[in-house]
Amino acid sequence: MTFKRLLKIAGLASVLIGAAFQPVIAENYPSKSVTIIVPFAAGGNTDAFARLIGQELDKRFGQRFIVENKPGAGGNVGLGDLSRAKADGYTLGMGTVSSNAINQTLYKVLPYDKDKGFAPVSLVATLPNVLVVNPKLSVKTVPELIDLLKKEPGKHTYASSGVGTSIHLAGELFSTRAGVKMTHVSYKSSSQAIMDVVAGHIDMMFDNIPTAAEQVKAGKVLSLAVTSTGKADLLPDTPTMASYFPGFEATSWHGLFAPPGTPPEIVEQVSKAVGEILREPAMRQKLEGMGAKPEGNTPAEFAKFIDAETKKWAETIKAAEVPLQ
């Protein structure tokens, strides 16, 4: 038998042995603590969702699921670390529409292989944005706002929590669909941005509904439209943007990911557990109280969802001529 023949047999044996061990690995998973990387600072929605899910995974698997915040570069720092982590299921990450669908087009260079991407585990929650305006703007409906913006193109300002965030691109999508021009003003956080809308320094913004709803109920800003396809529980009297522009949807979503190459059996196991957690009445109540819609889907369904979101926001970025970062 030739040496090359021996190498081929050895290689085939290695593959077969590896495949045989995969179910065993999944069956014994997890045998130690698991890290969940959050690529944003503590205290935000992404961090909150990761901690809620992590606490429940603790109970189900009998091992600690520890959240580690690694903010920077619109989520790219944390995702870079996730992509380089060992693909054994002991490092997971909580991603968002910005970090896992928008950044693929917005950034010239990413700290991970865009083609390999990540292993989608499950969509966790979606959060609608809401268009709010300062009352001094003297508009109470979307058509009134559009009329004003067309009469005074480029004069009025809208805030966001940073270039490339879902809050920013919701504004760009609105501008494109409505055929209007607004001046974008970028802030470091949505809390800073909404305060300047309240103060009248900025005319309007699309903000995540939990933060904005408080200001709406206090009468400090007016809500004109939510960006989900259905009405939002926190602002049930506010119409949808889709009622003016069919198909308009600009939600902020959050989902769980694993490094590329993580064994499918482990991905499926975690995905199933997350889905069960999100169907529990107590968890649904917590998330809905935050203005979020609990989701939960299979890795294949989540991958299809991410692909559609990436394409949608790529078109928006190019149509609005958003500068690449």
Give yes or no for a cis peptide into 30 (omega within 30° of 0).
yes
Residue 236 forms part of a structural domain: yes
Nearest to 180 by CA among 318, 313, 320: 320
Q: Are 227 and 194 contained in the same domain?
A: yes
Q: Are 121 and 95 contained in the same domain?
A: yes
Q: Are 228 and 275 contained in the same domain?
A: no
Tokens for 324, please give them.
Answer: 């690449």
Nearest to 133 by CA among 150, 164, 155, 157: 157
Residue 160 forms part of a structural domain: yes
Beta strand 34-38 pairing with 204-208: unpaired
Residue 136 forms part of a structural domain: no
Number of domains in the chain: 2
CATH number for the domain spanning 75: value is 3.40.190.150
Q: Are 180 and 220 contained in the same domain?
A: yes
Q: Are 204 and 186 contained in the same domain?
A: yes
What is residue 270's DSSP assignment?
Answer: H
pLDDT of residue 3: 45
Question: Of 243, 273, 307, which marks where a domain is finished?
Answer: 243
What is residue 118's DSSP assignment?
Answer: -
- Model-level pTM? 0.85
Q: Please report, to the nearest 10 degrees, the dihedral formed by the alpha carbons of residues 236, 238, 241, 246 taken in order.
A: 60
Q: Are 84 and 111 contained in the same domain?
A: yes
Q: Are 263 and 220 contained in the same domain?
A: no
* Residue 132 φ/ψ, nearest 5 degrees: -120, 150
Q: Please report, to the nearest 10 degrees, the dihedral formed by the alpha carbons of residues 98, 99, 105, 107 taken in order.
A: 110
Q: Are 106 and 39 contained in the same domain?
A: yes
Give the Cα separation of 69 and 102 in Å (integer).
20
Residue 142 forms part of a structural domain: no
- Give residue 214's domain range: 148-243
CATH number for the domain spanning 178: value is 3.40.190.10
Q: Are 205 and 257 contained in the same domain?
A: no
Are the CB atoms for 187 and 162 separated by under 8 Å?
yes
Give the Cα separation of 81 and 79 in Å (integer).
5
The neighbouring-strand residues paired with 96 are 254
Question: Of 214, 243, 272, which marks where a domain is finished?
Answer: 243
Question: Of 201, 223, 243, which marks where a domain is finished?
Answer: 243
Residue 298 forms part of a structural domain: yes
Q: Are 110 and 154 contained in the same domain?
A: no
Q: Are 156 and 109 contained in the same domain?
A: no
Residue 8 forms part of a structural domain: no
Q: For 287, what's the count of Cα atoms within 13 Å in the CB-facing half-sphere? A: 27
Residue 12 forms part of a structural domain: no
Are the CB atoms for 291 and 313 separated by under 8 Å?
no
Q: Are 117 and 161 contained in the same domain?
A: no
Are the CB atoms for 39 and 99 separated by under 8 Å?
yes
Residue 40 forms part of a structural domain: yes
pLDDT of residue 8: 52
Local confidence pLDDT in tens for the 325 residues of the chain: 554 454 454 455 454 545 444 455 567 899 999 999 999 888 888 999 999 999 999 999 999 999 999 998 889 999 999 999 999 999 999 999 999 999 999 999 999 988 888 999 999 999 999 999 999 999 999 999 999 999 999 999 999 988 888 899 999 999 999 999 999 999 988 889 999 999 999 999 999 998 899 999 999 999 999 999 899 989 999 999 999 999 999 999 999 999 999 999 999 999 999 999 999 999 999 999 998 999 999 999 999 999 999 999 999 999 888 888 8
